[in-house]
Amino acid sequence: MPKDSGRKLIASNKKARYEYLIEDTVEAGLVLTGTEVKSLRQGRATLVDGYATQYQGELWLEGVHIPEYTQGTWTNHSARRRRKLLLHREQIDKLVAKAEQAGHTIVPLSLYFVDGRAKVEIALAKGKKLHDKRQTLRERQDRREADRAMSAHLKRHG
């Protein structure tokens, strides 16, 4: 058993849950170079602009920023290169078929290590309209206010 067993979060895309209505999630492996893995082990990555596209029957992750490894030499990777996602054929076909519907896209939600292997959680998502985003903000604010009221009540009457 590897020494880094378990799940270690590297980066998450909080903006995706605000911008999109998440319909389905899938865990996928990533094809990475050595310097990319080392950079990820330092906990450095940004998923905000990321999305997945189909190219020659494969799914590719684009727009994800993994900074160059500081101790890397000429073998260093480019920070925003296209990275291949490792999925089963049925998963790829299902995601691509749904993503081709109007308003749908495939976005990364989180990047993490599982038992020493880099994984990305991708989601089939539908873009929210402005009023949906406002509704999400309103729900979040209402939840916060309710939590504050409950904690204040418990402090007084605890």
CATH superfamily to which 7-127 belongs = Small protein B (2.40.280.10)
Could you tell me whether strands 7-12 and 104-114 are parallel, antiparallel, or unpaired per DSSP bridges?
antiparallel
Mean pLDDT by 10 residues, the chain (158 residues): 65 82 87 80 82 86 79 59 87 86 86 87 83 80 87 80
Distance of alpha carbon 107 from alpha carbon 25, whole angstroms: 9
DSSP one-letter code for 74 = T
Percentages helix, strand, coil for the chain (3-state, rounded to 5) are: 35, 35, 30
Residue 122 near residue 99 (C-beta atoms within 8 A): no
Query: For the chain, what are the domain ranges?
Result: 7-127, 129-158
pTM over 0.75: no
**Residue 1: per-residue pLDDT:** 41
